[in-house]
């Protein structure tokens, strides 16, 4: 058995219902699972979030089990077939995953191919080695920036290209990623909305209705379109706190 991951940039895309653009990818990874376990910890109202996800994923015919509603979230993760971690605030989400003791069992079972993993937005951030490429404000301080490390590179969900006609004088997303590379030697995939990464063991493919932009230290950013084979990214070793 090998790692099986679906990492989406976003839940919603303009012109589509939530997850409509990726429902086929959801169906494929969920397969014949008896239930989909959902981590709703990135927002405050866990009951609402879980109910909403159940409504959206009803076409899959699989019950959604909120980890907030089970007696023991860690025990539930140990028995789960598919885990979906949704979007919201990444700092709140990572803090909850550490507090509930979920980092180790999720990491271990995904790496062993025992647990299929779906992430969207903040949930996709959790699959990276570190929280450092999230777009959120640090509304809470997690014990560490270390995340699940299910892929050996960073992802920036909701990546937006610089607007040459904008009068905004603040940093662009590209500038912030380049700042990160000044301090850390790690690849960063900017996933535009509507795109996702699909890992099956040693294979990593970019898919969806839009592409991505890859940043690496000392190199010009590279554009990739849906269908691109990015398996070589799985062989990289991230190095944090290593200034250029």
Q: Is 26 helix (H, G, I), strand (E, B) or coil?
A: helix
Q: What are phi and psi of 190, to 5 degrees?
A: -85, 105
Residue 229: active-site member: no
Strand partners, 212: 191, 224
Residue 121: active-site member: yes
Residue 45: active-site member: no
In the chain, DSSP assigns E strands to 4-8, 36-39, 64-66, 82-85, 116-120, 154-156, 188-191, 195-200, 203-208, 212-215, 222-224
> Which residue has tokens 């058995």?
1
179, 145, 176: which is closest to 160 by C-alpha? 176
Q: How far is CA 71 from CA 74, 76, 240, in A?
A: 9, 8, 37
Strand partners, 155: 189
Q: How far apart are CA 7 and CA 123, in angstroms?
A: 8
Task: Point out the catalytic residue in the list 90, 121, 130, 210.
Answer: 121
- Which residue numbers are catalytic? 121, 136, 158
């Amino acid at each position: 058995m090998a790692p099986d991951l679906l990492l989406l940039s976003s839940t919603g895309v303009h012109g589509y219902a939530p997850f409509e653009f990726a429902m086929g990818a959801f169906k494929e990874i969920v397969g014949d699972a008896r239930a989909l376990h959902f981590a709703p910890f990135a927002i405050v109202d866990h009951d609402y979030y879980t109910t909403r996800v159940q409504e959206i994923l009803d076409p899959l015919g699989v019950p959604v089990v909120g980890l907030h509603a089970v007696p023991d979230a860690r025990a539930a993760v140990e028995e789960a077939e598919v885990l979906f971690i949704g979007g919201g605030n990444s700092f709140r989400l990572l803090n909850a995953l550490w507090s509930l003791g979920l980092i180790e069992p999720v990491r271990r079972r995904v790496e062993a191919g025992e647990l299929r993993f779906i992430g969207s937005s903040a949930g996709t951030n959790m699959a990276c080695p570190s929280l450092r490429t999230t777009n959120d404000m640090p509304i809470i301080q997690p014990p560490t920036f270390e995340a699940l490390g299910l892929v050996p590179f960073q992802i920036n969900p909701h990546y937006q290209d610089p607007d040459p006609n904008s009068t905004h004088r603040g940093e662009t997303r590209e500038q912030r990623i380049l700042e990160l590379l000044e301090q850390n030697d790690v690849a960063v995939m900017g996933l535009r909305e509507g795109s996702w990464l699909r890992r099956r063991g040693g294979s990593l493919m970019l898919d969806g209705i839009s592409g991505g932009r890859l940043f690496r230290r000392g190199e010009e950013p590279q554009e990739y379109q849906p269908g691109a084979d990015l398996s070589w990214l799985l062989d990289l070793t991230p190095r944090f706190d290593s200034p250029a």
